[in-house]
Amino acid sequence: MRPLYLDAYDRGILEERVERAHRVLENCRLCPRNCKVNRLKGEKGVCKTGAQAEVSSYGPHYGEERPLVGRGGSGTIFLTNCNLLCVFCQNYEISHLGEGYQVTPGVMAGMMMDLQKQGCHNINLVTPTHVVPQILSALLIAIPSGLNVPLVYNCSGYEEVETLRLLDGIIDIYMPDFKFWEPEKAKRYCKAPDYPEKAKEALREMHRQVGELVTDSGGIALRGLLVRHLVMPDNVAGTKEILNFIANEISRNTYVNIMNQYRPCGKAFEFREIARPLSRGEYLAALQWAKEAGLSRLD
């Protein structure tokens, strides 16, 4: 299966999307924060990112979902900064404190090519939402150099549908988190009470674009939607409702990774209810809810 972006490139669609996406940066509303700052002039909003993308590291990664990793690994590019900023982030230095360095589109394209040459099965863009225009510019350079592995959009789920539409026909694999069901929780931990609504809209749009996960005969992901959900202490995430939403309003055949690795990081110790790791019982309850919801494609 040919990556979608090759067609978009051949038909001139990618070039047009690069221009449209960069225009959004003049009055930035790439994500639901809707900061309306002129990032092309160096102004910064919630994501603290100006005109250029920043990267903290890149390389083959073997800890991602099985269909992304295979033998060659997933070619991750960790983008610096974030538009959601959870207080318990495991990558606090990168997302909140801005650990990383600025890269031009040419440098990012070089990273993509390097990962492909190393045998990675895909290019996995980690926390890409606030730098969609810069990623598209890099793609425009990487494609004529021979890029031909699927692109993975690995995001928090706090997305603007209009921005996702700029990626329609370009991104092969969407891998959003669905973090919180209740607005009050999203407000408490991310200052984003509209997160649940935006994540629901985003999942619907992603599924419309790429459908359910499709793999090759070796089980390597080629296209489709994978959803991640981190189970949290005290059920602050609203796991049961989220799994029911995925099963009933997206598809029972959705590939879902129910994650058990929560541990308090960043500022989590300032919030008593999440200042402890997840218990085994809490995780088993989440798996049971998935089963009851009819979800069977679990990572």
Residue ranges that bind ligand SF4, judged by CB under 6 A: 28-31, 33-35, 37, 45-47, 83, 130
Please say which residue, 27 or 215, places its beta carbon nearer to ligand SF4: 27
Name the minimum Å distance from CB 135 to ligand SF4.
12
Please say which residue, 33 or 200, places its beta carbon nearer to ligand SF4: 33
Please say which residue, 189 or 255, places its beta carbon nearer to ligand SF4: 189
Name the minimum Å distance from CB 255 to ligand SF4.
27
Amino acid at site 19: E
Please say which residue, 135 or 286, places its beta carbon nearer to ligand SF4: 135
Name the minimum Å distance from CB 31 to ligand SF4.
3
Please say which residue, 74 or 154, places its beta carbon nearer to ligand SF4: 154
User: Quick one: which H or E segment has residue 69?
Assistant: helix 66-69
Q: What residue ranges in 183-271 does DSSP mark as E strands?
A: 214-215, 221-230, 255-259
Residue, CB closest to ligand SF4: 45
d(CA 119, CA 259) in angstroms, rounded, equals 27
DSSP structural state of residue 122: S
- Tell me which residue of 172, 136, 181, 133 sits closest to 154, measured CA to CA: 172
Please say which residue, 27 or 90, places its beta carbon nearer to ligand SF4: 27
d(CA 187, CA 185) in angstroms, rounded, equals 5
Name the minimum Å distance from CB 74 to ligand SF4.
24
Name the minimum Å distance from CB 89 to ligand SF4.
15
Main-chain dihedrals φ then ψ at residue 76, nearest 5 degrees:
-85, 140
* SS3 assignment, position 75: strand
Give buried/exposed letters for 61-89 (b at 16+ CB in 10 A, else e): beebbebbbbebbbbbbbbbbbbbbbbbb
Name the minimum Å distance from CB 170 to ligand SF4.
18
Q: To the nearest 10°, the Cα dihedral for 78, 92, 65, 7?
A: -30
Computed on alpha carbons and rounded to an integer, the radius of gyration of the chain in Å comes to 18
Please say which residue, 35 or 295, places its beta carbon nearer to ligand SF4: 35
Name the minimum Å distance from CB 23 to ligand SF4.
13
